[in-house]
Amino acid sequence: MSFPLLTATAALPAIGAVATAAVPAARRTAAKWLALGVSLGTLALAITVLVRFDPDGARYQLTESHAWIKDFGVRYELGVDGIAVALLALTAVLIPFVILAGWHDADPLETGSRRWRPTQGFFALILAVEAMVIISFEATDVFLFYIFFEAMLIPMYFLIGGFGDRAHEHGEEAASTQRSYAAVKFLLYNLVGGLIMLAAVIGVYVVAGNFSLTEIAQARANGSLHMATNTERWLFLGFFFAFAVKAPLWPLHTWLPNAMQEATAPVAVLITAVVDKVGTFAMLRFCLQLFPEASKWATPVILVLALISIVYGALLAVGQRDIKRLVAYASISHFGFIIMGIFAMTSQGQSGATLYMVNHGISTAALMLVAGFLISRRGSRLIADYGGVQKVAPVLAGTFLIGGLATLSLPGLAPFVSEFLVLVGTFARYPAIGIIATFGIVLAALYTLVLYQRTMTGPVKPEVSAMPDLRARELVVVAPLIVLLIVLGVYPKPVTDIVNPAVKQTMSDVHKTDPKPSVEAAK
Amino acid sequence: MENLIALLIAAPLLGAAVLLVGGRRLDAVGQWIGTLLSAASFVFGLILFADLLGKNAEHRTLTQHLWTWISVGSFQADVTFRLDQLSMTFVLLITGVGSLIHLYSVGYMEHDERRRRFFGYLNLFLAAMLLLVLADNYLLLYVGWEGVGLASYLLIGFWQHKPSAATAAKKAFLVNRVGDMGLSIAIMLMFTTFGSFAFGPVFSHAGDASEGKLTAIGLMLLLAACGKSAQVPLQSWLGDAMEGPTPVSALIHAATMVTAGVYLIVRSAAIFNLAPDAQLAVTVVGAVTLLFGAIVGCAKDDIKKALAGSTMSQIGYMILAAGLGPIGYVFAIMHLVTHGFFKAGLFLGAGSVMHGMNDEVDMRRYGGLRKYMPVTFITFGLGYLAIIGFPFLSGFFSKDAIIEAAFAKGGTQGWILGGAALLGAAITAFYMTRVMLMTFFGEKRWQPDENGNEPHPHESPKVMTIPMVLLAFGSVFAGGLFSIGDRFLNWLEPVTGHSEGHSPISAATVTGATMVCLVIGVGIAWAQYGRKPVPAVAPRGSLLTRAARRDLLQDDFNHVVLVRGGEHLTRSLVYVDHTLVDGVVNGTAAGFGGLSGRLRRVQNGFARSYAVSMFGGAALLVAATLLMRAV
Amino acid sequence: MNPVNYLYLAALLFTIGATGVLIRRNAIVVFMCIELMLNACNLAFVVFSRMHGNLDGQIIAFFTMVVAAAEVVVGLAIIVSLFRTRHSASVDDASLMKL
């Protein structure tokens, strides 16, 4: 038996989490370095996966399979396709930056504060989330996936509820109350989604007799497993609901702004750039493969909801007064694009959506982490408390602008490629929806530039006049992300080459082919 | 030789990267790095131009494939450059005028502490603009298209500490984004129609597509052109864009970027030729804008805004010409090039005036400046003569050709368009004469500013006047150089095609009519601003004047309908999201909370009340059992 | 004699006991009423045993007596300790365990 690479990729951060948590309280710096080292090790493993993965090879590669709960046919089955590899790489790339950006977020507060800040716990929880996200991307057993999909909530709950922004305008008590509200809201939303999914998971077992994604998908494809139309639709809805909460799709989105607002910037990045991606990824992998017919049946409604998400999220972002809430609503708009691309059922749409997940992860991380640096300097999340930062901290403003430009999908930066692919893929099949979604790009420019204008330009406000520019550690966090944005914007081929074959497979799962251009069709 | 094409873009791109990432170390030499790399690009352009001239007309298209950019299914986008006569013309204009303006900026921005960054942005602009005109497919063109928008955003808002500049920059980007939406929809339509959006396949298959599709593509391209070229109804950003430093106004908002819309339409000739409805829309937009811009230009007292109105109007001419089809394409581009010279020259002149006048922009505070800055006066004067179409200067040849072509459209349309163009010529003569008279003639009207500093008008340094002189040369001779022997026509014809229209009136008549219009315009202006002294405070003016001062109320309309409406919409949506969407969920939670609160009261701690519920429960069970047995 | 009459008696005793539990406040009285109810049940069991001609009812009656005895031990202990701490034997005074 060969080396279980996929298990190792997930196990390393899991072990790292335990080890970090076990570091004695006095040696908090050691814990930070340990966590960073583990995340870099995971990145190395993820790169190994990327290198060993052959885009033109079998659909699932590096597979591992062991019996786990024999009585119920639950297996420990791992395997990655192109889509999973891309997201695995994204996760592994982002976590070191999240750790580095949050370097001081869990330091003990000044003496006199009653709150205890467990530094070790913070970094251990981040690593735990990483492990669970990675195994969710790798699992090809529905039950195994479900367990980690749900288990992720536990560390996330503590990360949101336990660590907030340092300063708060209404004092610590109010901050703590709001944080718990956000954390509980996050937990309840996702738990409800997850429980509905659990019912559907059991339903799949009842219908199919096992939990193996590959077996069920194969049986569905060759017709040996028949599902009654209604059964398939109910099961699809059960899965989709959970993923739509996680993604999040309008109108199940309201937990995200609260969670992102209250969490520290690195945790907010963890939520929107990493954990939420499991939702959209699972739509592509589980919804489309297990329930192709029901997916097609639900497509019109889902596309409309995605469209509403795009426009609604963008409009709400325009109306926000809080920087982090603004980014959260912008993300809701972007998740609308991802879901639209997935359900447009064209290769451009689905490749675009996968690419979008990767690019959105990077661009949101860049924007949100810089916003976090900004907020930590002034101790306020309100846009109105800033002004003229550009003058005192030009590098911070410059990186913030680049993050913003990536968010508004400026050509030349990575998100443009994916957004355009999604739009073109949608337009090819549903022109009206494609055109309305295009309005999203105008609105994106609006909220980004308004944010930039209000915070960075104009006369320097007295409160920001002494603001220091980005420090070396912060620059180390932001610069590579910006380089990635530019590189993937100019040369996205490495990612598309990996993703394209997997999307082709998914397209054939749902028995769809790209529409032909009308000039050819006429001939 | 093809490999040089990439270097055209690479040189200024390198400059932008070095200057923006390099940091403060480069503060001292930044301006020269920028100018040098821009000039390098111009030199590459000249080499390529010489190479093209050495070839036969039909072999003058060079392509360079660099790498495959996006490839998903049948969606193929390559990074491929295409250099033909049309893009060559633009390359020379962009890099030539661009280099001169870099040089000018060395003097103009001398005392700005963020000068290095200014040159970085200028280089970024050049790279994006060159990418726009060299792209071999529409998606790559789109990258350049938005790239110039970004550069324009950064440069308009260069003095970010002024809220007005930051707002103007944002407005320019947003209005442009509306246009960009048109371009992206056009690309999507091309992809679904032709399966490609590269120039080659699209143009060669244009004949196979239905007219409806082509019209839709044409209209979307027109929307894009309206945004970038400040045509009605997306013109509102250009006036505000004058918040940027004056070299920026000269380069981006007069000579090059704003003409990108004309390039787009001429480049897409194959589509427009087969979509007469779209062409008609183009001509209407052009005609409306050339009058709109001219009227606005008449009422402005801010010298830069008056010139901005003029730019809008002149681009209206180009768009009009481009909409006329093969009769007009060549003249659209010719006017574009000559306009590039004289309008850049005029803006640089305006910048020179402001430089000497403590950045005063109100023409009512100028007057009699010809004595103080002779070089500026002469170069500005030559640009002025060129733009109003004074015989045998550049504008005369190119504008006259467009007016003739408009008449040659034939039928009622021809008369209306030609008439509008003639009227525009008269108004142009009026407002430009007004600018000229108010600035350089009459009595001096300047006053000390609020700090008591009285301006001491003086001529600008050599580094600024040399570019002005060179551009003045272009303004004087370019038109004649292009027109004698139809050189420009023969050069461009292989790309754009050309046909002579059937004009209902002879060319000489048109020229005569244009001259009459010119004289009338100049005459009225002289009567108003030359004969009698100009009041230092603007008179109230007629209704039209007042409307024109406010950009014909377009901004007010935008403000009421879009800005206010949008604010109300977002605010109510925020409310809805909080109360309704979130409210449903929170309401459910609160409902359960309330229910449990009620139920909690049953647990009152009195043993006897628990006993009652036990007895009651037992009784109920017994009753139920009995009832079940009975049934 | 008709055994049904004993059942009437049992029902009567049970009702008296239940009413006492519900309306009296003194813990001792409540306690005795519970005993009364238990004994009413015992009586019913014995009567049923007689009526059905087997010994099941009588056996259960013994169990009940044992349970009742155990209950007396625990119950009286609680009442006494309650009285010691609060100087009152009223069941309504001991209402601390509410939400």
Question: Torsion angle of alpha carbons B51, B55, B57, B61, nearest 10°?
Answer: -60
Q: Which residue has the tokens 């377009």?
A: B554
Contact assignment for B612 to C95 by CB distance below 8 Å = no
How close C97 gets to chain B, by Cα (Å)?
6
How close B42 gets to chain A, by Cα (Å)?
24
User: Looking at the complex, does the CB of residue C21 fall below 8 Å from at least one CB of chain B?
Assistant: yes
Nearest CA in chain A to B162: A458
User: How many helical (H) and strand (E) elements, i.e. helices and strands, does chain A have?
Assistant: 23, 2
Burial of B25 (0-12, 13-18, 19+ CB in 10 A): exposed
Contact assignment for C99 to B606 by CB distance below 8 Å = no
d(CA A266, CA A165): 10
Tokens matching residue A471: 């420090």
Backbone angles phi, psi at A84, to 5 degrees: -65, -40
d(CA B579, CA B596): 23
B218 in Cβ contact with B275 (< 8 Å): yes
d(CA B401, CA B49): 25
Which of B605, B611, B612 lies at the smallest CB-CB distance from C97? B605
Contact assignment for A320 to B166 by CB distance below 8 Å = no
Interface of C with B in 33-72 (CB under 8 A): none
Q: How does strand A61-69 pair with strand A74-80?
A: antiparallel
Find the range with the poorest average confidence among A237-246, A465-474, B361-370, C88-97.
C88-97
Sign of CA pseudo-dihedral B357, B361, B363, B364: negative
Let me know if chains C and B touch, i.e. at least 3 Cβ pairs under 8 angstroms. Answer: yes
- Suggest the residue from A258, A519, A520 to mutate for an interface test with chain B (most B CBs closer than 10 A): A519
- Suggest the residue from B70, B155, B167, B243 to mutate for an interface test with chain A (most A CBs closer than 10 A): B70
Question: Torsion angle of alpha carbons B163, B164, B166, B170, nearest 10°?
Answer: 140
How close B590 gets to chain C, by Cα (Å)?
19
Collect contacts of A70-73 with beta carbons under 8 A, ≥24 apart.
A72/A143, A72/A205, A72/A211, A73/A205, A73/A209, A73/A210, A73/A211, A73/A212
Residues in chain A within 8 Å Cβ distance of B194: 517, 519
Would you state the pLDDT for residue A112?
45
Backbone angles phi, psi at B443, to 5 degrees: -85, 155
How close A134 gets to chain B, by Cα (Å)?
26
User: E strand or H helix at B64, and its extent?
Assistant: strand B62-72
Nearest CA in chain B to C18: B615
Would you state the pLDDT for residue B504?
77
How close B607 gets to chain C, by Cα (Å)?
7
d(CA B258, CA B157): 17
Burial of B543 (0-12, 13-18, 19+ CB in 10 A): exposed
Residues in chain C within 8 Å Cβ distance of B617: none
How close C21 gets to chain B, by Cα (Å)?
7
Distances (CA, A) of B183 to A356, B139, B141, B224, B323: 21, 9, 10, 5, 17
N residues, chain C: 99
Domain segments of chain B: what residues? 301-538, 557-628
Whether the predicted pLDDT of B219 surpasses 90:
yes
A422 in Cβ contact with A338 (< 8 Å): yes
How close C78 gets to chain B, by Cα (Å)?
14
Tokens matching residue B595: 């229910």
| Angle, vertex CA B371, rays to CA B365 and CA B373, nearest 5 | 80
Q: What percent of chain B has pLDDT over 70?
A: 100
d(CA B594, CA B598): 6
Q: How confident is the model at residue B114 (pLDDT cuts 50, 70, 90)?
A: confident
Let me know if chains C and A touch, i.e. at least 3 Cβ pairs under 8 angstroms. Answer: no
Q: Per residue in B378-403, is it b (16+ CB within 10 Å) or e — as a string?
A: bbbbbbbbbbbbbeebbbbbbbbbbb
Q: Please give the residue range of the domain that contains residue A316.
A: 297-513
Tokens matching residue A488: 């993937």
Nearest CA in chain B to C22: B608
Residues in chain A within 8 Å Cβ distance of B141: none
B272 in Cβ contact with B218 (< 8 Å): yes
Residue-wise DSSP of A78-121: EEE-HHHHHHHHHHHHHHHHHHHHTTTTTSPPPTT------HHH
Whether the predicted pLDDT of B537 surpasses 90:
no
What average pLDDT does chain B have? 88
> What ipTM did this prediction achieve?
0.90
The Cβ-side half-sphere exposure at B363, using a 13 Å CA radius, reads 28
Q: How confident is the model at residue B92 (pLDDT cuts 50, 70, 90)?
A: very high
A291 vs B531: which has the higher pLDDT: A291
Which of A453, A456, A522 lies at the smallest CB-CB distance from B167? A453
Tokens matching residue B462: 């050599």
Instruction: Compute how many other C-beta atoms are within 10 angstroms of the C-beta atom of residue A383.
Output: 18
Residue-wise DSSP of B523-577: HHHIIIIISSPPPSS-----HHHHHHHTGGGHHHHIIIIIIIHHHHHHHHHHHHI
Burial of A469 (0-12, 13-18, 19+ CB in 10 A): middle
User: How many helical (H) and strand (E) elements, i.e. helices and strands, does chain B have?
Assistant: 26, 2
Tokens matching residue B596: 């449990």
A59 in Cβ contact with A505 (< 8 Å): yes
Residues in chain B within 8 Å Cβ distance of A460: 161
Contact assignment for B606 to C91 by CB distance below 8 Å = yes
Whether the predicted pLDDT of B547 surpasses 80:
no
Q: Answer yes or no: is A407 within a domain.
A: yes
- The β-bridge partners of A61 are A80
How close C62 gets to chain B, by Cα (Å)?
23
A289 in Cβ contact with A208 (< 8 Å): no
Cα B51 to the center of its chain, rounded Å: 31
User: E strand or H helix at B339, and its extent?
Assistant: helix B329-356
Q: Answer yes or no: is A241 within a domain.
A: no
- Suggest the residue from B192, B196, B217 to mutate for an interface test with chain A (most A CBs closer than 10 A): B192
Which of A254, A493, A515 lies at the smallest CB-CB distance from B71? A493
User: Looking at the complex, does the CB of residue B596 fall below 8 Å from at least one CB of chain C?
Assistant: no
User: Looking at the complex, does the CB of residue C99 fall below 8 Å from at least one CB of chain B?
Assistant: yes
How close B177 gets to chain A, by Cα (Å)?
6
Strand, helix or coil at B137?
A: strand
Whether the predicted pLDDT of B253 surpasses 90:
no
- The β-bridge partners of B71 are B76
End-to-end distance of chain C based on CA atoms, in angstroms? 53
Q: Answer yes or no: is A463 within a domain.
A: yes
**Identity (one letter) of the amino acid at B220?**
M
Maximum average pLDDT range among A280-284, B364-368, B552-556: A280-284
Residues in chain A within 8 Å Cβ distance of B191: 424, 427-428, 517
Helices B329-356 and B462-483, axial angle in degrees (round to 10): 160
Residues in chain C within 8 Å Cβ distance of B600: 99
Backbone angles phi, psi at C28, to 5 degrees: -65, -45
A349 vs B363: which has the higher pLDDT: A349
Taking alpha carbons only, the member of B402, B404, B399 closest to residue B388 is B399
Contact assignment for B577 to A352 by CB distance below 8 Å = no
A378 in Cβ contact with A463 (< 8 Å): yes
A311 in Cβ contact with A340 (< 8 Å): no
pTM score = 0.88
Would you state the pLDDT for residue B495?
85
Written as tens digits, the pLDDT of chain A (523 aa) is: 578 888 999 999 999 999 988 888 778 888 889 999 999 999 999 999 999 888 888 888 888 888 888 888 888 989 898 899 999 999 999 999 999 988 887 777 654 444 556 788 889 999 999 999 999 999 999 999 999 999 999 999 988 888 876 555 566 677 778 888 889 889 988 999 999 999 999 998 888 888 888 888 888 878 788 888 888 899 999 999 999 999 889 888 889 998 998 888 999 999 999 999 999 999 998 988 888 888 999 999 999 999 999 999 999 998 888 899 999 999 999 999 999 999 998 999 999 999 999 999 999 999 999 999 998 888 888 888 888 888 888 889 999 999 999 999 999 899 999 999 999 999 999 999 999 999 988 899 999 999 999 888 888 888 888 888 888 888 999 999 999 999 999 999 989 999 999 888 888 888 888 888 887 766 6
A278 vs B571: which has the higher pLDDT: A278
User: Looking at the complex, does the CB of residue B164 fall below 8 Å from at least one CB of chain A?
Assistant: no
Q: What percent of chain C has pLDDT over 90?
A: 55
Cα B453 to the center of its chain, rounded Å: 36
Nearest CA in chain B to C91: B607
The number of distinct structural domains making up chain A is 1
User: E strand or H helix at B77, and its extent?
Assistant: strand B75-83
How close B611 gets to chain C, by Cα (Å)?
7
Residues in chain A within 8 Å Cβ distance of B139: 420
A204 in Cβ contact with A131 (< 8 Å): no
Residue-wise DSSP of A268-311: HHIIIIIIHHHHHHHIIIIIHHH-HHHHHHHHHHHHHHHHHHHH
Tokens matching residue B310: 């003029």
Which of B160, B165, B209 lies at the smallest CB-CB distance from A519? B209
Q: Which fold has domain C1-86?
A: Helix Hairpins (1.10.287)
Sign of CA pseudo-dihedral B411, B417, B423, B429: negative
B341 in Cβ contact with B254 (< 8 Å): no
User: Looking at the complex, does the CB of residue C29 fall below 8 Å from at least one CB of chain B?
Assistant: no
List of chains touching A (3+ CB pairs within 8 A): B
**Identity (one letter) of the amino acid at C9?**
L
B455 vs B284: which has the higher pLDDT: B284
User: Looking at the complex, does the CB of residue C84 fall below 8 Å from at least one CB of chain B?
Assistant: no
- The β-bridge partners of B75 are B72
| Angle, vertex CA A170, rays to CA A164 and CA A173, nearest 5 | 60
Average pLDDT over residues B292-317: 90
How large is the C-alpha radius of gyration of chain A? Answer: 22
User: Looking at the complex, does the CB of residue B615 fall below 8 Å from at least one CB of chain C?
Assistant: yes
Residues in chain B within 8 Å Cβ distance of A188: 589
List of chains touching B (3+ CB pairs within 8 A): A, C
Q: What percent of chain B has pLDDT over 90?
A: 37
